[in-house]
Structure 1
């Protein structure tokens, strides 16, 4: 997210350095060609940060409009009034369900008030609370402490009937002291307690391969952000988000490998709008995902 890093960093100071930052159910038929059946995404959602300004302006109207685009589920974030936007958890659930969608997950400050957040999420049948940001760490010892903390958080969430996941940024795919932090986290967190949300954009930005990670760590990445990169963006360029399908990322093959290795939830996300508006891009992104064929 172009301004998301600043937003998250401000929130992280408040959290002692730890925090933040349908569709029409897809076509059930398959298209046969070259002796291979092609499948699409039966269900997909959107990360609400993609339309954050609209959410801040009018939660009800924004969610209603997203429902009209064909999204099947939503992933939230804490916009300053909690993950339920100042409503009771049951009220927010009803708002979303009245538009034909499901509130399945939210990015949240899992380092503060965890028990209450997990309890409220579990009460309304949410599937995940997700840590969206920990920031670059100075040493692998810091990531080792984070792995232990993730296991603790996952245990609390599990006791309340909700799963915990960590959402990556590029810094966990950059070597530190001869190790890859993302690999360390995957290998030192309990699969029974901790899942992962792959932000495909942030895997590609530092030059890693999403398909390699899906295959190397099957059933660990349960959710993903489908976020595209501008075709002319150099490796390492952070601010290069664009409408899905107009960039350089081959989602057709990446998501196929992901699904084959346990990927279940697909959230459109976009953070930059050069020739459009967030809601227009949200509509275009829904159309792209509805028509996507997995190769």
Structure 2
């Protein structure tokens, strides 16, 4: 083989290897600079504004970059008095998905489920159940969740439970959150992890998600100021606290987390709408 031909084959081989590796290199680099393409807001964060002008407030939030909403019953139902068709039209106009709503899942569940399904929601969520006095009571709560989940499944929806800190406080040698995980049917009940509440209760949210892969599909993203001790009043704007959300979000997706919902309940030196805008900016720039 002459030198010219050998050199040609060597160059060709090198190009071949480079071409084969090129897509993987792109993927690796893309992973390094990946951003969170969609994130939501729990509308309770702007509850006063929602009470005054729900449609106008939702339009403003969409302008901040939110692509998903999670609702709540503000006294006018989960659609704030809007008809499903009206709400669906608004969402289409502003380019937002209404993924879920906190609701009283033990009253008029079929009626609420019909409304939720019509606007495209995927979940109705129990936002609060209160601390129970015994392990047996928590098992009874689990069964109520299973029944609510079965009702919602018949409407094409899913049930989820949103925790506070009380499910992360030991009771008779057991963690109430563990009891719920063990006694609810994964086919009927998902969970929305409020990462702030687990954090201030002393449980690493990422480690807890890893213990139960596939059970936590939604989460509340809110930050806690450092060195707060046991106090619950530690909420700050995203990025101003001690919770490493770039890592939490990136790794939690590996365990089945799908929806990242901002919630802000404490406002220091800001307003609810300004906080919502600042949190959207933070998440839009976060490398996950």
TM-score between the two structures when normalised by the length of structure 2: 0.88
Tell me the alpha carbon deviations over residues 177-221 of structure 1, each in whole angstroms, 9 at most, x when there is no partner.
100010110111111000000100011011001111111100000
Alignment match, 2:68 = 73
Quote the residue 1:272 is aligned against.
266
Residue 253 in structure 1 maps to residue 247 in structure 2:
yes
Instruction: Report what 1:60 is aligned to.
Output: 55
| Matched residue, 1:45 | 40
Separation in structure 2 between the aligned mates of residue 123 and residue 48 of structure 1, nearest angstrom: 19
Match among 108, 115, 119 for residue 124 of structure 1? 119
SS at match of 1:106: strand
Q: Equivalent residue for 1:8?
A: none
- Verify: 1:285 aligned to 2:276, yes or no: no
Gaps of 5+ in 1: 1-28
Q: Aligned equivalents of 2:28 and 2:280: distance in 1?
A: 20
1:206 aligns with 2:194: no
RMSD: 1.5
- On the 8 A contact 1:40/1:292 being kept in 2, the answer is yes
Q: CA deviation at 1:30?
A: 7.3
Question: For residues 28 and 282 of structure 2, what CA distance do their matches in structure 1 show?
Answer: 17
Give the alignment's TM-score, normalised by structure 1: 0.86
Q: Deviations over 1:121-177 (max 9, x none)?
A: 122321100000001111111111010011100000000011110001000011001
Residue in structure 1 matched with residue 214 of structure 2 by the alignment: 219
Task: Kindly provide the CA deviation profile for residues 97-135 of structure 1, in whole angstroms up to 9, marking residues without a partner as x.
Answer: 211111110000001111111122122321100000001
Q: What is the deviation of 1:264?
A: 0.3
1:82 equivalent in alignment to 2:82: no
Residue 242 of structure 1, aligned match among 227, 236, 241: 236
- Equivalent-residue separation in structure 1 for 2:136 and 2:129 (angstroms): 14
Deviation at 1:38, TM superposition (A): 4.3
More helix by percentage: 2
Tell me which residue corresponds to 1:19: none
Residues in 2 aligned to 1:74 and 1:206: alpha-carbon distance in whole angstroms:
27
Matched residue of 1:120: which SS? helix
Q: Closer, same or farther in 2 for the Cα pair 1:53/1:231, shift >3 Å? A: same
CA contact (8 A) 2:32 2:287 kept: no
| 2:4 match | none
Q: What secondary structure sits across from 2:69 in the alignment? A: strand
Change (3 A) 1:60 1:123: closer
Displacement of 1:248: 0.9
Where in structure 2 are there 5+ consecutive unaligned residues? 1-25
Number of residue equivalences: 263
Residues 200 and 225 of structure 1 are in contact (CA less than 8 Å); yes or no, is this contact kept in structure 2? yes
Tell me, yes or no, if the aligned pair for 1:227 and 1:244 is still in contact at 8 Å: yes
CA contact (8 A) 1:118 1:160 kept: yes
Equivalent pair of 1:214/1:257 in contact (CA under 8 Å) = no
- Asked whether the 8 Å contact 2:159–2:189 carries over to 1, the reply is yes
> Is residue 2:193 matched to residue 1:230?
no
| Counterpart Cα distance in 2 of 1:261 and 1:187 | 17
- The DSSP-based 3-state class of the residue aligned with 1:98 is helix
